[in-house]
Every structure is written in structure tokens, then in C-alpha cells.
Amino acid sequence: MMRKFLRLLKILRVSVGYGLDEIAISGLKKPRITKLIDTVFFWRDLSAPRGVRLRMALEELGPIFVKFGQVLSTRSDLIPADLVIELSRLQDRVPPFDSDLAIAQIRKSLGAHPDELFATFERTPVASASIAQVHFATLKDGRQVAVKVLRPGMKKSIDEDVALMHIAAEWIGNVWADSKRLKPKEVVAEFDKYLHDELDLMREAANASQLRRNFADSQLLLVPEMYWDYCSSSVIVMERMHGIPVSQIDRLEAAGVDLKKLSSDGVEIFFTQVFRDGFFHADMHPGNILVSIEPETFGRYIALDFGIVGTLTDYDKDYLSQNFLAFFRRDYKRVAEAHIESGWAPKETRVDELESAVRACCEPIFDRPLKDISFGQILLRLFQTSRRFNVEVQPQLVLLQKTLLNIEGLGRQLDPDLDLWKTAKPYLENWMGEQVGVKGFMQRLKAEAPRYAHIFPQLPRLVHQALERHAERPNDNTELIKVLISEQQRTNRLLSLVIYVVGAVALGVAGFQLYHRFHHLL
């Protein structure tokens, strides 16, 4: 309790020292309170821009608040543009912890000293972040690996800081009129979830394994293999990946990497993860992306650090794809209709008014290269529009927005002339064709066939049992029995029809495949 109290005092001291009260009260529009606080804390130097002061305050409060600031930098709907720009500059950089602590953690988690587990183990870490640090090692069979070790004492620190964030979110929800739409409590809850997910390194290993399986046949992306015999919740061992950091443009050019292709490949990887898999790497900043220069995998992306991934439901994917395609086709009316149909905008919203507002946001950016546009500014204008029309922000899509902004920054570095719209539009159109066309129908039929195969044969028996239960009742309604018998007969006819149709489709598909193979052999 005393530790939490002291932490709260430090947060208040830092907040007051950097004038963060000025930002909060400006949102509440209470000028008299602002003047009173300025008089009480007359000694403060508030000459620096408020965004700079906010960034410096979060850095002083430590890695948990830095991570929260990084999440907030994606919420252009919640904070002004000048704050977004500064928060996007936050870096998750902390000094490495003592190697003896890392060795003790490995011994505790894997049951042996690193010298017993590995042929070699480098005591000096190669990377350090707020959650964990990484050491290089070599397995006894000669395979090179990277050992990721959880920073000691992180769970307790996270629990205490996030608990204070929950209190702050509760307070904001009670006093801020716009809180219902902006959902501060939900934002903190999402942040809490993702932080605790990062604490479980087995979850990260599983995320990496899933992403590796999704791109097993891909010529675009490499994901390190996890060595499960050496993995636990606080230590994981993975294949060591060799490549050039994607931010080192000069080295990539010197190695002969085609930057334009690399840029378009990044867009394709992003849309493949989102719309094909509904499972995407949500921390794709340049520090987590390498480019392979090995001859057999030259020019492919290498993904690292899988602590944060995003998932989308089929409903989310369908909604997003419709919006993306509508944007690409400049069908702003469809964008407006999709927002209202999904419940994101109130039902009473006029389609033509929302359509006009979206057009004003998006029309200026088309037919322009990436170097001349900014998704940050587009999103800001869209969120300003959403505020006007009381569109509710969906917390589950915050990670997607963050990832899209990372993709923008990556593309801007690699190929400033990249036309994101023209690159993404064919992929989305092809994906939508697969979803709503014959191929999509066959895939869904194939996926649902085991369920229907289990249900259909039971229908006559279930109806018969229902009739028997009705027949056993003393005051049974004869007319109802007749109706049930009629329904049973109709169900039997329908079942026969379904069987014939499914059989015909299956025979048709099989015949087409045999014809295609025979024709190919000729």
C-alpha cells in the first residue's frame, strides 16, 4: 500500500511539474481553474510545447507509461494532433538488467544453467526493452538461437501502474462529457490486456508459431522457429534470424535490395494478415523488422517480437474490407451506409451528410504518392468528423490503426512514391471476390459440411422424439400433432433435396477437377 501511495505521489509530482494539468483542464474547458492552478504553481517552466512536456513526463514515469503513450499515439480521436506527433516519438528503450539475473531466470524456468543448456551463451544482451531482453546463444547441435528473458519484477510493477490508470480512466469517464464515445475505461482495459499478454512469453511463442504457419508457403515473410523444449512463460528460445534492419536504407541499397518491391511487399503482407488470416503482427515498427540478404531468402521481410498481435472476427474483416474498397472506389455513400449499418454511427444519422463529410476528408488524398499524404492527418480529420456525427470508437481496432500507421512510416522510408491505394486495391478486390463468389461459397460449404453432416441425420429422430413427448401428455392437442407430422414430412423432403444438391455440387466439382487434370495431361 505504501509503495502504491509513493508511486501515486511521483505521478502527481511529475504531472504537475510538466504542466499536464493544463492539458487535462483544457479538455474540460475550465479557464478559471487553469488560472488558479497557474497561480498556485507559479514556479513551473511551461515554455516548452505541451506535446514535448507530455512526452518527457511519460519518459520520466517509466516504461509502462511510455508504452501507454505509444498506444495513445494511435488515438487521434482522443488527443489533438500536436500530442499525437510527440507521442509517436516515444521509444521503448531501457537499460539492460544484470546478466546474472537473466541467468537465474533461465535456471529457474528451464531447470539448468545456460552453460548446461547451450554450447555457447553470450552474457551481454543484444537488445533490451521494458518487458524483456535478448541474448544470443548456440544449441549443442550447432543451431544459432536467440534467448528472450523476461525482466524480473515486471508483473508487480505493471499491476500497480495499470491499477492507477484504471482509477484515472474512471475519473475521466465521470467528468468528461465525450467519454461515452471515446471509451477511456475500455482503452485502459485493452492496454491492460495487451501488457499482461506480453508478460507471458509462451503466448508470444505461440503467436510466432501461428504467424509462421500462416506464411509457411510465402515468398514475402520469414518468421523464426520456436524451440519448444526451451520455452516457458518467462524464457523463450527461437531461431536466430540474420538480416538488415529495415530502417537502414543505405545498407539495403548497398546489398542490392529492390526498395520499391520491398515497399509493395509490405503492403501485401499487411493486407494478407488482416483480411486472409484475421491475425496480424501489431508491433511492426522498424526495430522489429529485418530484411534477409541470404541468397535463398534474399529480399524477404523478417518479423521479430510477437508479444502484441491483433485478431479480427469475420464481421470485422467484412466491415473493414467494405470500407477499404469503398474508399478506393471513392464510393463515400457506401462508407456512410456501412457506418450506420454496423451501429458505429447512430441510426438517425443522415447518409448524405455523413457521405459529404467523409468525401471532404478523403478526396484530396487520391492520385497522390505516399510522400504527399499522411495517414495521421487523414485519420485525424476522420476522427474529427466522427466526433461531429457521434460515431463510437471501437477499441478492438486500435491495434489495427497503430499497425496501419507503422506501415505508412515503413512505406514512406522505403519508397516515398508508393501509391498505397493502387497497391492495395487489386488485393482487396480479389479477396472480396473470393468471399462473395463461387469460390467463397464452396469454401464456406466445405467448412460447414461436418456440422451439417452431424445435424441433418438427427432431424427425423429429434422430430419423432418431440412427437412422442407430445403424445404422452394427457391433454395433448391433436391438431398440433398433425402440424408436427406435416413438418416432419416437409423436413424429410427438404433433407432429401439438400442431400441431392450437395451431392450434385460435389460431383460437379469432382468432374471439373478430373476434366482439368485430363486436359492438363493432354
pLDDT digits (tens, 9 = 90+) for 392-444: 656 556 667 667 777 777 777 788 777 666 777 777 777 767 765 566 666 66
Cα dist from 519 to 288, 511, 513, 522, whole Å: 47, 12, 10, 5
CA 81 to chain centre: 22
d(CA 308, CA 190): 11
CA 458 to CA 463: how far, in whole Å?
9
Q: Is the pLDDT of residue 170 over 90?
A: no
Phi, psi of 137 (to 5 degrees): -155, 175
Is residue 287's pLDDT more than 70? yes
Q: What is the DSSP letter of 226?
A: B
Q: Are the CB atoms for 355 and 335 separated by under 8 Å?
A: yes
Cell numbers for 308? 502484441
Whole-angstrom Cα distance, residue 340 to residue 322?
A: 13
> What is the DSSP track for 189-239?
HHHHHHHHHHH-HHHHHHHHHHHHHHTTT-SSEE-PPB-GGG--SSEEEEE
Three cell numbers, residue 401: 490503426
Report whether pLDDT(332) > 50: yes
Lowest-pLDDT range, 325-334, 354-363, 383-392?
383-392
CB 415 within 8 A of CB 260: yes
d(CA 292, CA 315): 35
- Respond yes or no: is residue 419 known to be catalytic: no
Q: Which residue in 107, 111, 148, 143 sits closest to 127, CA to CA?
A: 148
Determine whether the annotation assigns residue 134 to a binding site. yes
Greater pLDDT, 494 or 218: 218
Helix, strand, coil percent content, the chain, rounded in steps of 5: 65, 10, 25
**Is 131 annotated to bind ligand?**
yes
* From 283, 305, 316, 415, the catalytic residue: 283
CA distance 295 to 283: 27
Q: Which SS3 state, helix, strand or coil, does residue 311 take?
A: strand
Q: pLDDT tens for residues 1-46?
A: 677 777 778 887 787 777 776 665 555 545 555 555 555 565 667 7
pTM for this model (two decimals): 0.70
Q: Is 488 annotated as belonging to a binding site?
A: no
Q: Is 193 annotated as a binding residue?
A: no
